[in-house]
């Protein structure tokens, strides 16, 4: 694994757990973790359960005893690591968004397609589609329970940078993160809604805003242009969006609205998706992640109303290996489910989903939203490589 911070910890939890929960034909060995700081990565290896550590990801790619490279770094390094790993015959799991630009994402998708010929697999880590309630949502839609989809509605609300004194971390720098709320959390609801609906976004009309233009530099920061106002602390420019909103048209005829923001005061991880169809509606709210709301318009009028489905039954997606009905699971379980699907696909010689080609399509939606926001007009999403919504 390359990277060991927030996502690295989540992925490590999954790798430690997956074989203890699921009966898989392959067994995961956590061989090595990589990070730039020797002392910090050594501590992470011990704390997260990795056998060894290194400060050079190229050593991992060159090792014969490593089969998988898991990329949990900022987006500016995804393409270089993934392309090198695929060329070396390593399966690759890469965190979202796939890259910082469409050009990089296309290079990665092309490399993945070439590696696929040699049975080398790759997948992008959109973990929310592995929440059991979201997967159940997809099953209900695919089974025709909501009929013809008319509306798709999605929001992802956070507030962690509302304070203007919050420092200028890498997620607020375009050269490292690619974009702000749009790419970081907007990518999640783009993937999740396309996964659930089975439809792809074809046109967008977007709006982005950066509310706090400059922020204090983090302690020990280097390589950033800075200015100081009188006796105040040095600051640097915020070069990504704080919030993004867009309308969309989907290829199945549905219309959609999306909102991603880090300035929704009081919201910590407010991801919500709703699908409205000709025969019913279904809604998911991550703040109640073990529940699904389902409205069946085919019922008699006297019996209609949103049904609260508690998604904890062993027949529900992923849950047969976990706890008795009514005993909820949490955020970290979505990463275990992701690891389970990735390992199972490799063992079966199948291509896991979402593929790099799928993630490229999400990147093209992000790019179209940015272009639309700049132009102030509807923008068409570029065509990707051949993709699937599996």
Per-residue pLDDT tens for 87-99? Answer: 999 999 999 999 9
Q: Does residue 309 register a pLDDT over 50? A: yes
pLDDT tier for residue 349 given thresholds of 50, 70 and 90: very high
Question: What does the pLDDT average to over 359-366?
Answer: 98
Share of the chain above pLDDT 90, in %: 94
pLDDT tier for residue 383 given thresholds of 50, 70 and 90: confident
Q: Does residue 216 register a pLDDT over 70? A: yes
pLDDT tier for residue 370 given thresholds of 50, 70 and 90: very high
Question: What does the pLDDT average to over 162-188?
Answer: 97
Per-residue HEC secondary structure of the chain comes to CECCCHHHHHHHHHHHHHHHHCCCCCCCCCCEEECCCHHHHHHHHHHHCCCEEECCHHHHHHCCCCCEEEECCCHHHHHHHHHHHHHCCCEEEEECCCCCCHHHHHHHHHHHHHHHCCCCCEEEECHHHHCHHHHHHHHHHHCCCCCCEEEEEEEEECCCCCCCCCCCCHHHCHHHHCCCHHHHHHHHHHHHHHHHHCCCEEEEEEEEECCCCEEECCCCCCCCCCEECCCCCEEEECCCCCEEEEEEEECCCCEEEEEEECCCCCCCCEEEEEEEECCEEEEEEHHHCCEEEEEECCCCHHHCCCEEEECCCCCCCCHHHCCCCCCCCCHHHHHHHHHHHHHHHHHHCCCCCCCHHHHHHHHHHHHHHHHHHHHCCCEECCCCCCCCCC
Which pTM was predicted?
A: 0.95
Taking only the tens place, the pLDDT of each residue in 5-60 is 999 999 999 999 999 999 999 999 999 999 999 999 999 999 999 999 999 999 99
**Domain-wise residue ranges, the chain:** 6-127, 132-288+290-329
Query: What CATH number should be reported for the domain whose range is 132-288+290-329?
Result: 3.30.360.10
Q: Does residue 388 register a pLDDT over 50? A: no
**The CATH number fitting domain 6-127, selected from 3.40.50.720, 3.30.750.80, 3.50.50.60, 1.25.40.10:** 3.40.50.720
Residue 221: per-residue pLDDT? 67
Residue 233: per-residue pLDDT? 83
Mean pLDDT for all residues in the chain = 96
pLDDT tier for residue 386 given thresholds of 50, 70 and 90: very low
Residue 389: per-residue pLDDT? 42
């Amino acid at each position: 694994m390359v990277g060991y911070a927030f996502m690295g910890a989540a992925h490590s939890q999954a790798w430690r757990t997956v074989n203890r929960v699921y009966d898989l034909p392959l067994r995961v060995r956590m061989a090595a973790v990589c990070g730039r700081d020797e002392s910090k990565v050594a501590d992470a290896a011990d704390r997260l359960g990795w056998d060894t550590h290194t400060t050079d990801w190229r050593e991992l790619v060159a090792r014969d005893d490593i089969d998988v490279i898991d990329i949990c770094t900022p987006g500016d390094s995804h393409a270089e690591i993934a392309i090198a790993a695929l060329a070396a015959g390593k399966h690759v799991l890469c965190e979202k968004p796939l890259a910082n630009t469409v050009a990089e994402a296309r290079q990665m998708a092309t490399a993945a397609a070439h590696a696929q010929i040699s049975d080398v697999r790759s997948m992008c880590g959109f973990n929310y589609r592995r929440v059991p309630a979201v997967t159940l949502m997809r099953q209900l839609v695919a089974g025709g329970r909501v009929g013809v989809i008319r509306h798709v509605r999605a929001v992802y609300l956070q507030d962690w940078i509302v304070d203007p004194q919050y420092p200028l971390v890498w997620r607020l720098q375009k050269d490292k993160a690619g974009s702000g709320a749009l790419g970081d959390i907007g990518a999640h609801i783009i993937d999740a809604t396309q996964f659930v609906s089975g439809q792809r976004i074809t046109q967008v009309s977007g709006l982005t805003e950066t509310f706090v233009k400059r922020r204090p530099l983090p302690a020990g920061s280097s390589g950033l242009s800075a200015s100081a106002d009188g006796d105040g602390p040095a600051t640097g420019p915020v070069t990504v969006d704080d919030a993004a909103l867009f309308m969309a048209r989907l290829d199945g005829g549905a219309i959609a609205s999306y909102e991603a923001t880090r300035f929704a005061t009081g919201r910590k991880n407010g991801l919500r998706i709703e699908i409205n169809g000709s025969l019913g509606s279904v809604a998911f709210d991550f703040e109640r992640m073990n529940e699904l709301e389902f409205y069946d318009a085919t019922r008699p009028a006297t019996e209609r109303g949103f049904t609260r489905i508690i998604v904890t039954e062993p027949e529900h997606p992923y849950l047969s290996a976990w706890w008795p009905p009514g005993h909820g699971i949490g955020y970290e379980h979505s990463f275990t489910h992701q690891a389970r699907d990735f390992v199972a696909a490799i063992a079966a010689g199948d291509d896991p989903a979402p593929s790099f080609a799928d993630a490229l399509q999400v990147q093209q939606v992000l790019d179209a939203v940015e272009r639309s926001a700049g132009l102030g007009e509807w923008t068409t999403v570029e065509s990707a490589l051949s993709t699937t919504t599996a």
